[in-house]
Amino acid sequence: MRAMILAAGYGKRLRPLTDHTPKPLLPIGGKPMIVHHLEKIADSGIKEVVINLGHLGSKIPQSLGNGSTWGLSIEYSDEGPDPLETGGGMTKALPLLGSETFLLVNGDVWTDLDFSSIPSSLSGNDQAMLFLVDQPGWRDKGDFKLDGNRVQESDSPDLLYAGIALYHPSILDGAKVEKFSIVPRLKKAIQEDRVAGRKMVGEWDDVGTPERLSALREKHGE
């Protein structure tokens, strides 16, 4: 199995910190956020990683190189100055990801999840598995509900997508390399009962604001 880290966003809510540094390179606990992901990926046994690039993208390969520091092989999918969003970014990266299930990780989440606990494949006809967390206090509404291990939409969702998922490339069948969100295709797969889910326990946060970044640095160091 390969992994993809989404790292192309602008990080607008973290300005001015992200005016000169891509958000995934902002440090927590003595190293860039994205390095924590790379270490977890390497520890899980995955060897090949794709990272998409956008805002200040050249700084990421300058910092990470070819991945050999972590025993990984990193390839980069450069989307240029106008990032393609989740669906477009995944579609552009498919030639690097191959035809099998892959792990997708948002470059700006903080988690203590052991990536070794993530399955290396999907069950049956599933197109995705989403990792979910309890709705945090800073969100007015969750994204989904779980019925057993099946992800469902709801008028009162209580779980938030944690920015970690398994995807089968078939969810992108017919997609073009253009700017689009994966959400409509994901919701279609949910309606077809082709999306599994797991509720995460432990530490998790979306490093989307200066306040949440500062709180994590107070706990783990900068």
Q: What per-residue confidence (pLDDT) applies to 190?
A: 98
Give the separation between CA 184 and CA 207, rounded to whole angstroms: 24
* Span of 24-33, 65-74, 191-200 with lowest mean pLDDT: 24-33
- Look at residue 122 and tell me whether its pLDDT is greater than 60: yes
Give the separation between CA 205 and CA 195, rounded to whole angstroms: 23
Number of domains composing the chain: 1
Q: Which of 14-18, 136-140, 167-171 has the highest mean pLDDT?
A: 167-171
**The CATH number of the domain where 209 resides is what?**
3.90.550.10
Q: What per-residue confidence (pLDDT) applies to 189?
A: 98
Per-residue confidence at 100, pLDDT binned at 50, 70, 90?
very high
- DSSP three-state, residue 176: coil
Asked whether the beta carbons of 5 and 17 are under 8 A apart, the reply is no
In order of 130, 168, 190, the CA distances from 124 in angstroms are: 15, 11, 14
CA 92 remoteness from chain centre: 16
Which residue, 53, 58, 50, 62, is CA-closest to 82?
A: 53
- Look at residue 17 and tell me whether its pLDDT is greater than 60: no
**Residue 78 tokens, joined:** 């450069």
Per-residue confidence at 220, pLDDT binned at 50, 70, 90?
confident
Looking at per-residue confidence, does 13 or 124 come out higher? 124
- Look at residue 15 and tell me whether its pLDDT is greater than 90: no
Domain that holds residue 169: 2-220
Q: What per-residue confidence (pLDDT) applies to 222?
A: 83
Asked whether the beta carbons of 110 and 196 are under 8 A apart, the reply is no
Per-residue confidence at 31, pLDDT binned at 50, 70, 90?
very high
Across all residues in the chain, what is the average pLDDT?
A: 92
Residue 36 neighbours by CB under 8 Å, 6+ apart = 28, 29, 110
Question: What's the one-letter identity of residue 78?
Answer: D
Which residue, 18, 54, 50, is CA-closest to 37?
A: 50
Q: What per-residue confidence (pLDDT) applies to 110?
A: 94
